[in-house]
Amino acid sequence: MIKVGIVGGTGYTGVELLRLLAVHPDVQLTAITSRKEDGLPVADMFPSLRGSVDIAFSSPDKADLTQCDVVFFATPHGVAMAQAPALLAAGVKVIDLAADFRIKDKAVFEKWYKIEHTCPELLEEAAYGLAELNRAAIQGARLVANPGCYPTTMQLGYYPLLKAGLIDAGGLIADCKSGVSGAGRKAEIGTLFSESSDNFKAYGVAGHRHTPETSAQLQKFTEDKVALVFTPHLVPMIRGMHSTLYGRLTKDVTNEELQALFEEQYKDSPFVDVMPFGSHPETRSTRGSNMLRLALHRPDNGNTVIVLVVQDNLVKGASGQAVQCMNLMFGLEETTGLKQIALLP
């Protein structure tokens, strides 16, 4: 059994990890931290876990995480970088759901996250945890940087087109929407019911920290200079993400060829569903599941290709993806414990 620790067990991605790992056949939940809830049985806070998780929270300074085989950090940016060196030195693998190890350039990280990077020596080593595009590196990694939720949709949607040189890399436009759980469980005015329900707005239009993460990754797929315009929006739902990705075609290609390109690219990726050309994927078709679904469109058969991508921000966009990485790091089937079908309605 893989002994698992979770730092930040009281947040949305933390409890989502618990939901997934509680029924994972190869996992033993060993330590779950909370700074405020030391000693409280996890299932007292989250009754959905009654009968499935029987351990209590412990404060991060009391929890002996070195007894774990792997530790997930479901914490704000900056927490994992402070603890990862000691854990790795003790032989513990680390999966960070925050951004501490996603951006290789320390100066770029510090500019966008407004915190000093205290262990830049691990940046190069960290494997970027997007299994579909980086499987081999994750398999051999002891430190994984789980991607951001928006970047997951943008990369999986644009990758086949960029790699095949079919679109103008300098004119990528991504119009993305997230459910409110994407902002986490902490109290904030913007996520109060009266502020975020029956309301719809863009945010971070002048610049969002997922732009440098996504651009740096997309740049690996093409020699042309990538320029990405990314506009996130907050939609009045709890879970779910919908990204509409626009690309300007630069070569003659038929719709059948575009569809075949995506189907071929993801034929061995169990968590990417390439839907029939012209489909309209719905966020609810991924709710609670690790599946990302996408579909291609080409209005009027012109030179714009549109990729519609949906996922559950808390599963494929965060905790499910992290478990997918754990499976690869420990030589398990990538889908182990992740076969949940989306909840409808």
Ligand X SMILES: CC(=O)N[C@@H](CCC(=O)OP(=O)(O)O)C(=O)O
Ligand Y SMILES: NC(=O)C1=CN([C@@H]2O[C@H](COP(=O)(O)OP(=O)(O)OC[C@H]3O[C@@H](n4cnc5c(N)ncnc54)[C@H](OP(=O)(O)O)[C@@H]3O)[C@@H](O)[C@H]2O)C=CC1
218-249 b/e (C-beta count within 10 Å ≥ 16 → b): beebbeeebebebbbebbebebbbbbbbbbbb
- Tell whether residue 324 is a contact of ligand Y (CB under 6 A): no
- Residue number, 265 or 319, with CB nearest to ligand Y: 319
Active-site pick, 68, 119, 149, 325: 149
- Out of ligand X, ligand Y, none, which partner does residue 8 contact, by CB within 5 to 8 A per kind? ligand Y
Q: Which does 13 bind (CB under 5 to 8 A by kind): ligand X, ligand Y, none?
A: ligand Y
User: Closer CB to ligand Y, residue 21 or residue 305?
Assistant: 21
Give the interface segment with ligand X, choosing from 137-145, 175-183, 262-270, 284-292 (CB under 6 A).
175-183
The binder of ligand Y chosen from 30, 153, 155, 181 (CB under 6 A): 181
CB within 8 A of 290, min separation 6: which ones? 271, 312, 315, 316, 320, 321, 323, 324, 338, 340
Binding marks (x or -) toward ligand X, 110..149, rule CB under 6 A? --------------------------------------xx
Residue 312 within binding range of ligand Y, rule CB under 6 A: no
Length of the chain: 345
Residue 337 near ligand Y by CB under 6 A: no
| Residues binding ligand X: number (CB under 6 A) | 10
d(CA 274, CA 260): 10
User: What is each CA distance from 47 to 15, 19, 31, 44, 173, in whole angstroms?
Assistant: 11, 11, 18, 6, 42
Q: Does 215 bind ligand Y (CB under 6 A)?
A: no
Identify the residue among 19, 24, 77, 93 touching ligand Y (CB under 6 A): 77
For position 72 contacting ligand Y by CB under 6 A, the verdict is: no
Is 75 or 327 the residue whose CB approaches ligand X more closely? 75
Q: Indicate if 149 belongs to the active site.
A: yes
For position 182 contacting ligand X by CB under 6 A, the verdict is yes
Does the protein bind ligand X through residue 98 (CB under 6 A)?
A: yes
Query: Could you tell me which residues come within 8 angstroms of residue 282 by beta carbon, excluding any fewer than 6 positions away?
Result: 310
Alpha carbons 137 and 285: distance in angstroms, whole number: 30
Cβ–Cβ under 8 Å, residues 62 and 36: no
Among 94, 97, 161, 295, binds ligand Y (CB under 6 A): 97
Active site residues: 149
Chain residues in the site for ligand X (CB under 6 A): 98-99, 148-149, 178, 182-183, 210, 232, 234
